[in-house]
Amino acid sequence: MIAFKQYKKGIGYQKKKTFDRAISSYLIAQKLEPTNDRYHKNLGDLYRHLALLSKEKKRILAREGYQRV
């Protein structure tokens, strides 16, 4: 129930919001230093992190009895 109250707009909204923030910071970094490959690695890490977060949040909601995603 706590997780459901924390994400009133839904997990999909939170995931999209986090993803948009990550992409915008990535694009800013690319404009500042376009030749640095570190940002490409960080973007891959962000994709993996977001995927893991969404699965964990879904598990929390399923455990609480909510099927809303």
What pLDDT is recorded for position 61? Answer: 58
Range of the domain at 17: 2-63
Is position 34 within any domain? yes
Question: How many domains does the chain fold into?
Answer: 1
24-57 pLDDT tens trace: 777 777 777 777 666 666 666 666 666 665 666 6
Is position 68 within any domain? no
Question: Any alpha helices (H) in 1-69, and if so which ranges?
Answer: 2-6, 11-32, 38-64
Q: Residue 27, by phi and psi: left (phi above 0), alpha (psi -120 to 50) or beta?
A: alpha
